[in-house]
Amino acid sequence: METKIAVSKNVTESAESRNKMEIKNLSVFYRKFRALAEINIAVHPNRITAIIGPSGCGKSTLLRSFNRMNDLTPSAHMDGEIILDGENINASGVDVVDVRRRVGMVFQRPNPFPKSIYDNVAFGPRLYGIRRRNDLNEIVEKSLRQAALWEEVKDKLHQSGFSLSGGQQQRLCIARALAVEPEVILMDEPASALDPISTLRIEELMRDLVQDYTIIIVTHNMQQAARVSDYTAMMMIDDHRAGRMIEFNETNVIFTNPKDKRTEDYVTGRFG
Amino acid sequence: MLRKTFETEIKQVKDDVLLLGSMVEESILNSVEALKKRDLKAAQKILEGDRAINKKRFEIESELMILIATQQPMAHDLRLLASNLEIISELERMGDYAKGIANINIRMGDEPLLKPLIDIPRMAEKGVDMLHRALTAFVNEDIESARKIPVEDDEVDALYNQVYHELMMYVIQDPRTIERANWLLWVAHNLERVADRVTNICERTVFIVTGDLTEITDTDNEFWHPHKHE
């Protein structure tokens, strides 16, 4: 399988500011099985980058690499560099907990803690030592506002997080991630468990958030990737079942005139 | 095959576009033939035929809108469906040119033709031949053929120049012929525009395959035209 990927020149040598994150020659192994092979990707600041590809191609494994969540799987190890603001965070001695604060994550199924709405959002800041009530109140309100949830919950902050609808719970999880002031937000199919209206709300929220944050999203919904992202990375498994990136470009190019036939086949639904 | 239904529907649309194309080709040739013979009944039929062309165009447009809404086309499929929308619009305008020629025929009433038609039928045959091949290239996504057709527009332009100069000579020699000369000049103008629009169809064919939307410019050997791609 060819290792060269079709990348637009102006995507890597952009006049925009330096990349927020980069992945260089990343391979991820589960024991001896190579799940990801030689991934290279640049993530532009204040943009949404989508990762698409067929089931099992390693999209979520790649997403979890950005904040070293793969470390939590005992059999996993990673070779290669994961760069955040110019520094390799896949090196020994790196404060992984701080990495996961700076690079937050929202998961496919909403997973609020079994706590009140307030305490869900305040949980992270409290862990970081913020104790004063006023400070916490401010953080909770700001985070819930940013997650476009404040107006719906401001009068019931002490109700359980589970009392919310699915869409609201997901926005609560987003607020929880925002409360610790991340720089990058990773979203693993954030709307796939939600109804269409909630999905569109999450997408609108992403477009609002990207003004202040950098977002990387994994989605199997191509129309969502097309609607919401600025850049799209197309992944596929090779003959050895390792996930590889085969094309990376501006979203409008990927969906109107992709360069690689495999991308074309996938986005037009001919793949299979 | 994945998306078999979609593929079938795309093929149906292409067949419908070819059908629309043949309706337009027939209309153009018949309108000129009717003018040559001063057959006003045939001219009237062209006007009725134009209604059928318009109806067909809207039917295809509706098919395309449904496909776009329901199939979420991307990449090549998207370019193809978007180009179909453009092409049926071009064909409908060509149908209008044929209608225009039929209208001129009817308006002329009992007036004889200023001169026997020689170059005007040649323009029609050439334009229709170009159109036929352009549509064939379009459905087959044959960009090599599509790229070669626009340059033939020069022949049509040259014929137009000839017609123009000839008619001007008539008018200079006898100013009373100006109205009849004008009618024929409009007919030639309409046929010249048919050939111009064929170029647009060829450009769309290239776009479908390559994703590049650029003009396929013909040579400079062309009568000045104020609106190249109206």
CATH topology for the A6-111+180-267 domain:
Rossmann fold (3.40.50)
pLDDT digits (tens, 9 = 90+) for A178-213: 999 999 999 999 999 899 989 989 999 999 999 999
Does B6 reach chain A within 8 Å, measured CB to CB? yes
Q: Which residue of A has its CA nearest to B4?
A: A270
- H/E stretch holding B125 reads helix B119-140
**Are the C-beta atoms of B140 and B84 separated by less than 8 Å?**
no
For residue B116, is it left (φ>0), alpha (ψ between -120 and 50) or beta? beta
* Per-residue model confidence (pLDDT) at position B15: 97
Query: Using a CB-CB distance cutoff of 8 angstroms, which residues of chain A are in contact with residue B76?
Result: 264, 268
What is B7-210's CATH number, 1.20.58.220, 1.10.3720.10, 3.40.50.1980, 3.30.1950.10? Answer: 1.20.58.220
Confidence band of A42 (pLDDT split at 50, 70, 90):
very high
Confidence band of B222 (pLDDT split at 50, 70, 90):
very low
Q: In the predicted model, is pLDDT for residue B218 greater than 50?
A: yes
Query: Using a CB-CB distance cutoff of 8 angstroms, which residues of chain A are in contact with residue B74?
Result: 222, 226, 255-256, 267-268
pLDDT digits (tens, 9 = 90+) for B174-192: 999 999 999 999 999 999 9
Q: Which residue of B has its CA nearest to A224?
A: B72
Burial environment of residue A188 by CB neighbours within 10 A (0 to 12, 13 to 18, 19 or more): buried
- Neighbour tally for A48: CB within 10 Å: 25
Please state, in angstroms and as integers, the Cα–Cα distance from residue A247 to each residue in A7, A37, B77, B211, following that order.
6, 14, 19, 17
pLDDT digits (tens, 9 = 90+) for A63-122: 999 999 999 999 999 999 999 999 999 999 999 999 999 999 999 999 999 999 999 999
Q: In the predicted model, is pLDDT for residue B227 greater than 80?
A: no
pLDDT digits (tens, 9 = 90+) for B34-78: 999 999 999 999 999 999 999 999 999 999 999 998 889 999 999
Arithmetic mean of pLDDT over chain B: 93
* Per-residue model confidence (pLDDT) at position A7: 55
A interface mutation test: which of B4, B74, B212 has the most A CBs within 10 A? B74
Q: In the predicted model, is pLDDT for residue B217 greater than 90?
A: no
Arithmetic mean of pLDDT over chain A: 92
Residue bearing tokens 């103008």: B189
Nearest to B29 by CA among B93, B78, B95, B110: B95
Interface A–B counts its CB contacts (< 8 A) at: 35
Give the Cα separation of B7 and A257 in Å (integer): 19
Does A260 reach chain B within 8 Å, measured CB to CB? no
* Per-residue model confidence (pLDDT) at position A1: 42
Does B2 reach chain A within 8 Å, measured CB to CB? yes
Q: What are phi and psi of B168, to 5 degrees?
A: -65, -35
| pLDDT mean over B193-215 | 95
The Cβ-side half-sphere exposure at A152, using a 13 Å CA radius, reads 15
Query: Which of A223, A257, A272 is the closest to B75 by Cβ?
Result: A257
**Are the C-beta atoms of A188 and A218 separated by less than 8 Å?**
yes
Sequence-distant (≥ 6) Cβ neighbours of residue A101 within 8 angstroms: A124, A128, A180, A181, A182
pLDDT digits (tens, 9 = 90+) for A3-20: 445 555 445 444 445 899
Confidence band of B3 (pLDDT split at 50, 70, 90):
confident
Portion of chain B with pLDDT greater than 90, in percent: 87
Of A31-40, A162-171, B3-12, B213-222, give the lowest mean pLDDT range.
B213-222
User: Which residue type is seen at B164?
Assistant: Y
Give the Cα separation of A119 and A101 in Å (integer): 17
Q: What angle do CA A17, A23, A25 make, to 5 degrees?
A: 135
Domain boundary assignment for chain A:
6-111+180-267
Does A256 reach chain B within 8 Å, measured CB to CB? yes
**Are the C-beta atoms of A191 and A199 separated by less than 8 Å?**
yes
Portion of chain A with pLDDT greater than 70, in percent: 93
Nearest to A149 by CA among A198, A186, A219: A198
Please state, in angstroms and as integers, the Cα–Cα distance from residue A185 to each residue in A105, A213, A245, following that order.
6, 7, 21
Please report the ipTM that was assigned to this predicted complex: 0.73
Domain boundary assignment for chain B:
7-210
The reported pTM is: 0.83
| Cβ density class B172-190: b for 16+ within 10 Å, e for less | eeeeebeebbebbbebbbb
* Per-residue model confidence (pLDDT) at position A225: 94
Portion of chain A with pLDDT greater than 90, in percent: 88
Q: Is A146 helix (H, G, I), strand (E, B) or coil?
A: helix
Q: Is B99 helix (H, G, I), strand (E, B) or coil?
A: helix
Residue predicted with more confidence, A71 or A1 = A71
| Shortest Cα distance, chain B CAs vs residue A195, angstroms | 19
